[in-house]
Amino acid sequence: MIGSAKPLVAPLQPPSPTGRCLAPSSCAPDSPPALTRAVESPGQSQSQSQSDGAPPPRPVDAAALSHVLRASPQLSRWSRSRALRSGRRPGSDRAKLSSASASVLPVNKSPRPEDAAVAVEDGEDDDVCVAERDAAAGKAIYIVSDGTGWTAEHAVNAALGQFEHCFVDRGCAVNTHLISMVNSMDRLLEVIKQAAKEGALVLYTLADPSMAESAKKACDFWGVPFTDVLQPTVEAIASHIGVAPSGIPRSSPSRQGQLTEDYFRRIDAIDFTIKQDDGAQPQNLNRADIVLAGVSRTGKTPLSIYLAQKGYKVANVPIVMGVNLPKTLFEISQDKIFGLTINPVVHQAIRKTRAKALGFGDGYQSNYAEMEHVRQELVHANQIFAQNPMWPVIGVTGKAIEETAAVIVRIYHDRKQKCSMPRISKRY
Amino acid sequence: MIGSAKPLVAPLQPPSPTGRCLAPSSCAPDSPPALTRAVESPGQSQSQSQSDGAPPPRPVDAAALSHVLRASPQLSRWSRSRALRSGRRPGSDRAKLSSASASVLPVNKSPRPEDAAVAVEDGEDDDVCVAERDAAAGKAIYIVSDGTGWTAEHAVNAALGQFEHCFVDRGCAVNTHLISMVNSMDRLLEVIKQAAKEGALVLYTLADPSMAESAKKACDFWGVPFTDVLQPTVEAIASHIGVAPSGIPRSSPSRQGQLTEDYFRRIDAIDFTIKQDDGAQPQNLNRADIVLAGVSRTGKTPLSIYLAQKGYKVANVPIVMGVNLPKTLFEISQDKIFGLTINPVVHQAIRKTRAKALGFGDGYQSNYAEMEHVRQELVHANQIFAQNPMWPVIGVTGKAIEETAAVIVRIYHDRKQKCSMPRISKRY
């Protein structure tokens, strides 16, 4: 569900029956019970907001909010550290920054005049930084999480892939801002207020129902469009298994230190994979879950690492002309060996790109990317693949590491499970 | 939004005004226009289903579906390969498998009698595999994607974290099944039909609107609960930037080979990070974005790799008693160096676990995890940190790699951008 995107200025002066509203910071209508309780006692409001009969969003007590923002120990710590870094005297932050903001904020260039309006109108702007200045160049998206934010970032990146056609020709520009560990009410409100200033969309993952509820209310209050990224998935699982979600963020102390067997398996897989990189320690090939064989630049190493992150012990064996493959490669179970091949023309292009990226000189580059050598090496590799029909040969041309990994993992599990429908299964 | 979970048997015999419905496979009511068109021409139905005035879900032509399933080249290829692997003669698959299914499917043990009912009633079950047998032990969740499925898997794993309290005491058990590259209509219907058999929840990410629409219709038809994982996020972004999503899956040929600068940056970061692991090539420390310094087992290597996957060139430097730190460490920019520390008691526990996991002998283990040594090494490390106040020191005790990485990346970007609000910003 998407929050209503009201104009940005209006919500900062919410309709007040008493007409007491003079300026954002002094605008103080009655606080909604839910939010007040949430500020006082998350636990209490959590149980309260879990009942679906939640009251409709009502204006947040801006005075209370601004007080909360002042009181934020995190914020003041950041302000101090920023002041120290920038050589300013702590305490004189606000004045200098608000003046700075006036000069820095691109009032004329801004694609959203109301942003500038808010910035000028709001004397509390103390978030002048590269990110905010960049924000003027494109639409801002705040990714807000009570944890690391990696899940939300991953989901948002995938969603943004649906708008590549617009980014490529720069028809539109987007700036994402990942703000993680938002696990206090004051921090949450501070972030959403900043999102309002930048005219940002807020995409959040907040496990605590009282935090999620407050995010909705604050977004409505400040006219910030928002979406709870994981809510539909969590609700679907809850109704499927008939269990209510815990509402406890991963970062919560009560969930700290829960490093599972699976976690250590992944760590071991990474350690193993790094030690086995580029044909090292062929005597350990039998301990690998997956063995990759291919010529240089077929992405063996990053592919191995990516698979290791998923818990697979991977060894990769380079196929080089004039160098015999390790004897052990043919002694181990052959159905865990995968061949990697690539289109020579694209291969050469990638090699050139890589050589350039690595800053090699022309001499090296021309030698490194020498077409005939590439062709011969690939012919040599294909001969080996032909002699080992058990090895699935995967073309990596134009494929991202993630895509090649998906193919390999699917075949790996299919061979183990012998399903008609290839699937990667896990137990919880 | 969550699909309605109807009983599993009924939908296979949908209400038919003409009463022609004798058996699931012969039940042939009129096909809904949208789905028929989708099967014939995705492009056509895509434009059709993009108009929100979509018709309410109507029963799918089961006969047509089963025909489509027969005709699936992918399925027959998988069946052949499975047959070859299992040494069975291709062609005799179905008979053997259906008889096998009768013996293998835990009809009595199944916690969902209707599953067994469907399995027995449906003579077409040719998906007997470990995964399906495991499914009887817990609720099944199908993660269905038109691409690699990594995004959906990541989101579902995070969502499942909200039910840990239930998994820990085995109060409930869940089996996830990631089914990737579902990019044809027949494959999609095949997967959803299988989900119905296993009583699974279907969580999907399908970029093509006609595929997503068909998934909804098929899930409604077979009474499968479902949720579109990314839809709310994509819709929120679309309305925020005022651009319609392309509807093109990442796996589509038209999006193949779009390996961006960012992609090669990540590949370079991984290559660099692996070469720099465990203090190697100290002369390159200046080329690193982030340098990690800590004693053994503070997770330097997996942390480095995790950060590299995100595009940061990372070097890690082990702090070992009696070994001087490389001179270059103190010559490079100090604000990119991070210290890692850990609680010695937990540290020892982790070392023991790791030593065990690595299969070291008791002698090695007792030496490796010797408490006094650990304490001394940490004291030594803390002295170094005290001498280098510019290095943020991060305690990794009980933290997952992802969490420590989040802290480091946030500080890294905060130092670069000097925001009052730490944020990790990207441009698109």
pLDDT of res. B133: 58
Contacts of A160 in chain B (CB under 8 A): 237, 428
**Confidence band (pLDDT; 50, 70, 90) for B68?**
very low
Q: Which of A127-131, B34-38, B197-201, B330-334 has the lowest mean pLDDT?
A: B34-38
Which chain B residue is nearest to residue A194, measuring alpha carbons? Answer: B421
- Strand B201-205 to strand B226-228: parallel, antiparallel, or no bridges (unpaired)? parallel
pTM of the entire structure? 0.70
Q: Tell me what pLDDT residue A325 has.
A: 93
Which residues does chain A have within 8 Å of residue B153's beta carbon, measured at their own beta carbons? 424
CATH 3.40.50 matches B261-416: yes
Whether residue B427 and residue A178 make contact (CB cut-off 8 A), yes or no, is: no
Nearest chain B residue (CA) to A272: B358
- Residue of B213 and B12 predicted with greater confidence: B213
| Averaged confidence pLDDT in chain A | 71
Give the pLDDT confidence score for residue B426 in this predicted structure: 83
Between residues 16 and 45 of chain A, which touch chain B (CB distance below 8 Å)? Answer: none
Instruction: Supply the pLDDT for residue B421.
Output: 78
The answer to whether B225 contacts A232, with C-beta atoms less than 8 Å apart, is no
In chain A, CATH 3.40.50 sits at 139-254, 261-416
Please give the average per-residue pLDDT across B133-160, as a whole number: 88
User: Which of B159, B207, B245 lies nearest to residue A230, judging by beta carbons?
Assistant: B159
Asked if the C-beta of B225 comes within 8 angstroms of chain A's C-beta atoms, the answer is yes
Identify the closest residue of chain A to B173 by CA–CA distance: A428
A-interface mutation test, from B211, B420, B424, most A Cβ less than 10 A away: B420
Q: Residue A369's closest CA among A297, A275, A280?
A: A297
Residue B6 touches chain A, beta carbons under 8 Å: no
- Asked whether residue B420 carries a pLDDT value surpassing 50, the answer given is yes
Q: What is the mean pLDDT of residues A128-144?
A: 72
Q: Is A258 on the interface with B (CB under 8 A)?
A: yes
Q: Give Rg (Cα) of chain A.
A: 28
Residue B74 in contact with partner chain A when CB distance is under 8 A: no
Contact state of A131 with B428 under an 8 Å Cβ cutoff: no
Q: What is the pLDDT of residue B281?
A: 84
Q: Between A7 and B153, whose confidence is greater? A: B153
Instruction: List A residues 227-246 in contact with B (Cβ-Cβ < 8 A).
Output: 227-243, 245-246
Give Dmax over CA atoms of chain B in angstroms.
Answer: 87
Look at residue A237 in the predicted model and tell me its pLDDT.
96
Instruction: Give the pLDDT band of residue A206 (cuts 50, 70, 90).
Output: very high
Q: Which of the residue ranges A48-62, A147-161, B16-30, B249-263 would you say has the lowest mean pLDDT?
A: B16-30
Q: How far is A356 from chain B (nearest CA, A)?
A: 11
| B chain contacts of residue A230, beta-carbon cutoff 8 Å | 155, 158-159
Contacts with B225 from chain A: Cβ below 8 Å: 236, 239-240
How many Å apart are CA A315 and CA A308, to the nearest integer? 10
CB contact under 8 Å between A163 and B301, yes or no, is: no
Residues 308-347 (B) with a CB less than 8 A from some CB of A = 308-309, 346
Between B388 and A421, the higher pLDDT residue? B388
3-state class (DSSP) for residue A145: strand
* B348 min Cα distance to partner chain A (Å): 14
**Tens digits of residue pLDDT in A81-103:** 433 433 333 333 333 333 333 22
Contacts of A136 in chain B (CB under 8 A): none
Q: Which of B164, B165, B150 is nearest to B205 (CA)?
A: B150
Are the CB atoms for A66 and A124 separated by under 8 Å? Answer: yes
Q: Is some CB atom of chain A closer than 8 A to the CB atom of B8?
A: no
pLDDT at A125: 45
Percent of chain A at pLDDT > 90 equals 42
| pLDDT at residue B53 in the model | 37
Half-sphere exposure of B61 (CA within 13 A, CB side): 15
pLDDT, averaged across chain B: 71
Of A33-47, B29-43, B399-413, the range with the highest mean pLDDT is: B399-413
What does the alpha-carbon distance between residue A203 and residue A141 come to, in Å, rounded to a whole number?
7
Tokens of A300: 């063996």
The DSSP bridge pattern shows strands A139-145 and A174-179 to be parallel
Instruction: State whether residue A100 sits within 8 Å of chain B by CB.
Output: no
Surface of B (131-150) touching A: CB under 8 A: 131-132, 134, 137-139, 141, 147-150
Q: Which of A300-309, A410-419, B357-366 has the highest mean pLDDT?
A: A300-309
> Regarding predicted confidence, which is higher, B63 or B213?
B213
Give residue-wise pLDDT tens across range B341-356: 988 777 667 666 666 6
What one-letter code names the amino acid at A175?
Answer: N
Q: What is the pLDDT of residues A367-390, one digit of tens each?
A: 555 677 878 888 999 999 999 999
* Closest to B224 (Cα-Cα) out of B130, B101, B120, B142: B142
pLDDT average, residue stretch A276-297: 88
Work out the percent of chain A whose per-residue pLDDT is above 70. Answer: 61
Name the token pair of A410. Answer: 């699917």
The one-letter amino acid code at B123 reads G
Lowest mean pLDDT among A122-131, A388-397, B134-143, B189-198: A122-131
Identify the residue with better confidence: A161 or B77.
Answer: A161
A103 touches chain B (CB under 8 A): no
Per-residue pLDDT, B359: 63
Q: Who's near A169: CB < 8 A, 6+ residues apart? A: none
User: Would the pLDDT of B58 be above 50?
Assistant: no
* Sequence letter at residue A192: I
Chain B positions touching A427 (Cβ under 8 A) are 134, 137-138, 173-175
CB nearest to B201's CB, from A230, A240, A302: A240
Q: Are B216 and B3 in contact (CB under 8 A)?
A: yes
Evaluate whether A217 touches A147 at the Cβ level (below 8 Å): no
- Give the fold, CATH level 3, of B139-254: Rossmann fold (3.40.50)
Q: Edge-to-edge, what's the strand order for the sheet holding A174-179?
A: A226-228, A201-205, A139-145, A174-179, B424-427
User: Residue A258's pLDDT is what?
Assistant: 62
Contact (CB<8Å) A151/B158: yes
- Chains A, B: CB contacts within 8 A come to 385
A131 pLDDT exceeds 60?
no
Closest residue in chain B to residue A203, using alpha carbons only: B233
Which residue of chain B is at minimal alpha-carbon distance from A419?
A: B129
Asked if A251 is an interface residue toward chain B (Cβ–Cβ < 8 A), one would say: yes
Q: What was the pLDDT predicted at A428?
A: 81
Residue-level pLDDT at B181: 92
Tell me the residues of chain B between 262 and 291 that have a Cβ less than 8 Å away from chain A.
263-264, 266-268, 270-271, 274, 277
Binary contact (A166, B243; C-beta < 8 A): yes
CB contact under 8 A, B274 and A301: yes
Mutate to test the interface with B, among A101, A204, A233 (most CBs of B within 10 A): A233
Global ipTM: 0.70
Q: Which residue has the higher pLDDT, B281 or B153?
A: B153
Tokens standing for B87? 């040494």
What is the pLDDT, as a whole number, of residue A128?
54
Which range scores top for mean pLDDT: A25-34, A200-209, B254-263? A200-209
Cβ neighbours of A89 (radius 10 Å): 9
Query: Do the bridges between strand B226-228 and strand B174-179 make them parallel or antiparallel, or are there none, so unpaired?
Result: unpaired
CB contact under 8 A, A155 and B150: no
The verdict on a CB contact (< 8 Å) between A175 and B425 is: yes
Distance CA B249, CA B48 (A): 18
- Reported as a pLDDT band with limits 50, 70 and 90, residue A121 is very low
> Minimal Cα–Cα distance from B17 to chain A, Å?
31
Question: Closest residue of B to A172, CA-based?
Answer: B241
> Bridge partners of B291?
B315, B337
Closest CA to B195 of B151, B124, B144, B158: B144
Question: Where is average pLDDT lowest: A8-17, B144-153, B227-236, B386-395?
Answer: A8-17
Q: What is the DSSP letter of A165?
A: H
Task: Please list, in sequence order, all residues whose beta carbon lies within 8 angstroms of the beta carbon of residue B258, skipping any fewer than 6 positions away.
Answer: A164
Q: Which of A36-50, B114-128, B386-400 has the highest mean pLDDT?
A: B386-400
Confidence of residue B384 (pLDDT cuts 50, 70, 90): very high
C-alpha dihedral, B380 to B383 to B389 to B391, nearest 10°: 0
User: Taking residues A24-39, what's their average pLDDT?
Assistant: 33
Give pLDDT, residue B357.
60
Burial class (CB in 10 A: 0-12, 13-18, 19+), A99: exposed
State the number of CA atoms in the 13 A half-sphere of B270 facing the CB.
23
Nearest CA to A34 out of A214, A183, A212 is that of A214
Pick the more confident residue, A311 or A422: A311
Mean pLDDT, range A122-126, rounded to an integer: 43
Model confidence at A2: pLDDT above 90:
no
Q: Which of A158-162, A257-261, B79-83, B96-100 has the highest mean pLDDT?
A: A158-162
Query: What confidence category does residue A144 fall into, taking pLDDT thresholds of 50, 70 and 90?
Result: very high
- B85/A425 Cβ within 8 A: no
Look at A180 and B399 and tell me if their CB atoms are within 8 Å: no
More confident residue, B263 or B98: B263
Chain B partners of A139 at a C-beta cutoff of 8 Å?
A: 240-241
